[in-house]
């Protein structure tokens, strides 16, 4: 009975530490590098998710407050001085770009405000600003897409390498027991698991944040269209 227990204990010890830290420490150097890269990518993904979620929440809250002021019926010139001259959020930047172009047109001697070129310049200023703000908010989105699409393949590379390492051990020891095969297979599957841990959140975050960014871009474009119509009516009243 004692010999059976001792043999079982010896076999378990020969398998090595099958905990997550143990699997990492006994993994091949190439698998270790793969795992470290995937862990770094996963941490960076969560940092991006937190930053983008916070930025979008703040941008929408600021846009809500700005639109309340804009549609309250107050003076556009006063709103420009307080919000548009030095914009602190994307919606104010769109408003500031349009008002700045509008004011420059008013200062031009003899400028006909009904001229289509004036409206085109105002619309162009708003469109360029929207594009610039969206590009700024989309920073690091490419990284999310890259991690989501490539992490599984990087993890698969670690898996293949771990299996190759296991076959090498089998050939060297001429032994196909679980003691020889187990650690290599375990570290190979560990690399696959880390790849999925990095890829799944990155893919979900990319889709969710991309949808919210598109929704916010549509909100700015709708505001630009409405504000352009307001300026067009004012140009007709001034002329």
What's the gap between Cα 166 and its chain centre? 37
In whole angstroms, what is the distance from residue 24 CA to residue 166 CA? Answer: 15
User: Do the domain assignments include residue 187?
Assistant: yes
**Number of domains into which the chain is organized:** 1
Q: Structural domain of residue 78, as residue ranges?
A: 19-238
In whole angstroms, what is the distance from residue 176 CA to residue 164 CA? Answer: 14
Residue 133's pLDDT is: 95
Residue 128's pLDDT is: 94
Residue 107's pLDDT is: 74
Q: Dig out the tokens for 116 from the structure.
A: 């289509």
User: Do the domain assignments include residue 111?
Assistant: yes
Do 121 and 101 form a contact (C-beta atoms < 8 A)? yes
Nearest Cα neighbor of 25 from 186, 134, 199, 213 is 186
User: Do the domain assignments include residue 6?
Assistant: no
User: Do the domain assignments include residue 217?
Assistant: yes
User: Do the domain assignments include residue 13?
Assistant: no
How large is the angle between the packed helices 141-173 and 29-70, nearest 10 degrees?
Answer: 170
In whole angstroms, what is the distance from residue 92 CA to residue 79 CA? Answer: 9
Residue 236's pLDDT is: 66
Which of 7-31 are b and which e, b meaning 16 or more Cβ less than 10 Å from the residue's Cβ? eeeeeeeebbeeeeeebbebbbeeb
Residue by residue, pLDDT tens for the chain (239 residues) are 444 434 444 344 445 566 767 777 777 788 889 999 999 999 999 999 999 999 999 999 999 999 999 999 888 889 999 998 899 999 999 999 999 988 887 776 455 555 567 788 888 999 999 999 999 999 999 999 999 999 999 999 988 888 887 777 777 776 666 666 666 677 778 888 999 999 999 999 999 999 999 999 999 999 999 998 888 777 666 65
User: Do the domain assignments include residue 220?
Assistant: yes
Residue 204's pLDDT is: 96
Helix (H) or strand (E) run with residue 132 in it? helix 116-137
Residue 28's pLDDT is: 78
User: Do the domain assignments include residue 132?
Assistant: yes
pTM over 0.85: no
Nearest Cα neighbor of 87 from 70, 73, 105, 107 is 70
User: Do the domain assignments include residue 226?
Assistant: yes
């Amino acid at each position: 009975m004692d010999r059976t227990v001792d043999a079982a204990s010896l076999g378990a010890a020969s398998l090595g530490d099958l905990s997550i830290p143990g699997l990492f420490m006994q993994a091949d150097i190439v698998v270790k590098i793969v795992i470290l890269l995937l862990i770094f990518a996963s941490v960076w993904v969560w940092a991006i998710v937190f930053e983008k979620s916070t930025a979008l929440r703040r941008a929408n809250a600021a846009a809500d407050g700005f639109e309340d002021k804009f549609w309250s019926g107050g003076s556009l010139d006063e709103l420009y001085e307080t919000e548009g001259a030095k914009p602190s959020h994307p919606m104010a930047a769109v408003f500031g770009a349009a008002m700045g172009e509008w004011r420059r047109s008013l200062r031009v001697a003899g400028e006909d405000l009904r001229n289509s070129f004036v409206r085109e310049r105002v619309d162009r200023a708003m469109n360029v600003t929207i594009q610039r703000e969206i590009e700024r908010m989309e920073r690091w989105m490419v990284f999310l897409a890259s991690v989501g699409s490539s992490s599984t393949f990087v993890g698969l590379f670690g898996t293949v390498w771990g299996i190759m390492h296991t076959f090498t051990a089998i050939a060297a020891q001429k032994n196909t027991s679980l003691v020889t095969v187990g650690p290599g297979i375990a570290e190979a599957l560990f690399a696959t698991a880390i790849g999925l841990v990095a890829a799944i959140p990155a893919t979900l975050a990319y889709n969710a944040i991309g949808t919210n960014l598109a929704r916010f871009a549509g909100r700015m474009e709708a505001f630009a269209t409405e504000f352009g119509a307001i300026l067009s009516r004012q140009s007709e009243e001034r002329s």
